[in-house]
Structure 1
Amino acid sequence: MTLTGHCLCKAVTYTVDVDAPLLTGYDHCDDCQRQSGSTYSLVCVVPKDKLTINGPIKKYEGKGSSGKSVWRLFCSECGSPIAHDPDAAPEIIALKGGSLDSDIKKTLKPDTEIWTVGKLPFCQENLAHPFEHMPQ
Structure 2
Amino acid sequence: MKGDLTGGCLCVAVRYSLREGFRFRPYACHCTDCQTRTGAAFNEHMLFARQDLEIEGELDSGSYEQPSGAVSTIWGCAKCKVRIFAENDKRPGFASLRCGTLDRSAEIVPVVSPAVV
Pair in the same fold by TM > 0.5: yes
Work out the CA distance in 1 between the residues paired with 2:50 and 2:102. 16
- The one-letter code of the counterpart of 1:69 is V
| Matches of 1:107 and 1:78, distance apart in 2 | 24
Amino acid across the alignment from 2:97 = L
Equivalence for 1:36: 38
What amino acid sits opposite 1:109 in the alignment? V
Q: Which runs of 5+ in 2 are unaligned?
A: none
Task: List runs of 5+ in structure 1 lacking aligned partners.
Answer: 118-136
Distance (Å, rounded) in 1 between the aligned partners of 2:115 and 2:16:
26
- 2:109 aligns with 109
Structure 2 letter corresponding to 1:58: D
Partner SS for 2:33: helix
Distance of aligned partners of 1:68 and 1:60 in 2 relative to their CA distance in 1, 3 Å threshold: same
Aligned pairs for 1:12-91 within 5 A:
12-18=14-20, 21-91=23-93
Secondary structure class of the residue paired with 2:26:
strand
- The more displaced of 18-27 and 73-82 is 18-27
Q: Which one is further off, 105-114 or 80-89?
A: 105-114
Instruction: Give me the TM-score of the superposition, normalised by structure 2.
Output: 0.87
For residues 16-38 of structure 1, the C-alpha deviation after alignment (integer angstroms, 9 at most, x for no partner) is 11168413111122222122121
Q: Relative contact order: is structure 1 or structure 2 higher (C-alpha 8 Å, sep ≥ 6)?
A: 2
Two-structure CA RMSD over aligned residues (Å): 1.8
Matches of 1:64 and 1:13, distance apart in 2:
28
Q: Distance in 2 between matches of 1:58 and 1:82?
A: 10
Contact preservation (8 Å) 1:83, 1:94: yes
Change (3 A) 1:44 1:114: same
Residue-pair matches, total: 115
Q: TM-score under structure 1 normalisation? A: 0.76
Bigger Cα Rg: 1
Query: What is the one-letter code of the residue matched to 1:98?
Result: G
Paired residues of 2:21 and 2:49 also in contact (CA < 8 A): no
